[in-house]
Every structure is written in structure tokens, then in C-alpha cells.
Amino acid sequence: MGISSKQTRARSKAAKEKQFLNIIDAGRKLFLNYGPEGMSMRMLAKEIGMGKKSASSLYTYVKSKRELWFAIIRHDFRDFERRMVEIYQNHSGTTKKLLIKIAALYFNFAEEDRQRYKMMFQTPAPISKQVGPIEKEYESRTVFMLKYMVTQAVKQGEFKEQDVGKLSYFLWGILHGPITVIDTELFGTKQKLPDIGSENEFYNFMLGYMEKIMDIL
């Protein structure tokens, strides 16, 4: 019994999806190791085992280094956004309490997968005048979701501050600040900063103070 064209197409699609995931994983590694300007598509082809003759086929998956960045970001944000939506849908209580749960998600995510967090929130896109198909279609939902939650809190009278835009980015900054402090490599050392304690202890400390801060907003 022969293999049908439908089975062949399914296997071909599965193989392409697997290769695309290999490209995503290798690309993330190179962006983090060499930065958006230091890494190259040639380095990526070598990383995934493509020879010089087959390296051109890499561009059937991503059209440029900038497109690769957006492909990685799109892939990495999908799970994070799913978890964010799940928290929102299962929450009962005040929006302030919901925002604390969202903050905990950010802290836990950074603690669980620091490399992916760095790629998503701390690695800028390569500069290019060309806009590829992935970039055209991509839209980050996390800030918009946070802004929506803050809007609801303002409408319900939980926050006195009425400037939703500035308030949203103020809270966004509080979310990312503690993670930056924990990331001691940004300060030129791999040693733990003094007086912080464990990563988890510091995040819990920040969550407690976030509640106090929101009470005066």
C-alpha cells in the first residue's frame, strides 16, 4: 500500500514546522549571545546545520534578520499571553488584585525562563527599512491587556488617577523594574546584589509594595 499525496503533504508540513521551531530556538540563542547587530543569518544557517548550498532555503522561512526577530517574539509571546488571558478569565475580585496576579505572572515567568524573558522584553529588533509579512501581522497584546485592566479599575473607582495611559505605563515599569534589578549582569557582575535575598523573596517583597502603591493611586 503506497503513501498518499495527502500523507506526503502532512509529513512535509510537519517537517517544515519542526524546522521552523529549530530556526526560532537557534535564532533566540544567537540574538541573546551576539545582540541584534552582532548575529547574522549566515550564523543562523550554520547553527541549524545548513550548508552553504542549502543556506538560501533559510529565507523561505524568514525573509530577513528583522523578520526572524518578529517570528521569535510572536512565538514566545503566545504562551505568555495565553497565561495572562487565563488569569483574567479565572479571576474574581477587584481589578487591583487581578493586577497583582499579573505582576506575579511576570515575575514567575522571568524566574522560570530568563532567556525567553530577555528576548521578549530586553532585546531590541534589528533596524531595517523593509517590513516583512510577519512584522506586518504581528501585534503585541500584553500592554493593551494591561491598559484594559487599568481602564476597568478607573471606571470602577479603584484608582483615583484618571490618566489611564500614563498609569498603565507606570505599572508596566513597576512590573519590569524588579526583574532588571535581579538581573545583575546588567550591572556588570554575575554576583547577586547585596541585601536582596533570594529572587523569590525579592519578588514577594515587591508584590507586597505594589499593593500599597496601588492603594494610593
- What does the DSSP assignment read for the chain? -PPPHHHHHHHHHHHHHHHHHHHHHHHHHHHHHHHHHH--HHHHHHHTT--TTTGGGGGGT-SSHHHHHHHHHHHHHHHHHHHHHHHHHH--S-HHHHHHHHHHHHHHHHHH-HHHHHHHHT-PPPP-S---HHHHH----HHHHHHHHHHHHHHTTS-S---HHHHHHHHHHHHHHHHHHH-GGGGT-SSPPTT--SHHHHHHHHHHHHHHHHHH-
Same domain, yes or no: 17 and 41: yes
Q: Is 150 a residue whose pLDDT tops 80? A: yes
Quote the mean pLDDT of the chain. 87
> Residue 180 has what pLDDT?
85
**68 in any annotated domain:** no
Same domain, yes or no: 107 and 28: no
Q: Is 76 a residue whose pLDDT tops 90? A: yes
Domains identified in the chain, total number: 2
Domain that holds residue 107: 74-216
Same domain, yes or no: 78 and 126: yes
Tell me the pTM. Answer: 0.84
**67 in any annotated domain:** no
**186 in any annotated domain:** yes
Q: What would the pLDDT profile of 160-201 be if each residue is shown by its tens digit?
A: 988 999 999 999 998 898 888 887 665 555 566 677 778 888
**4 in any annotated domain:** yes
Same domain, yes or no: 43 and 121: no
**17 in any annotated domain:** yes
Same domain, yes or no: 110 and 52: no
Same domain, yes or no: 104 and 163: yes
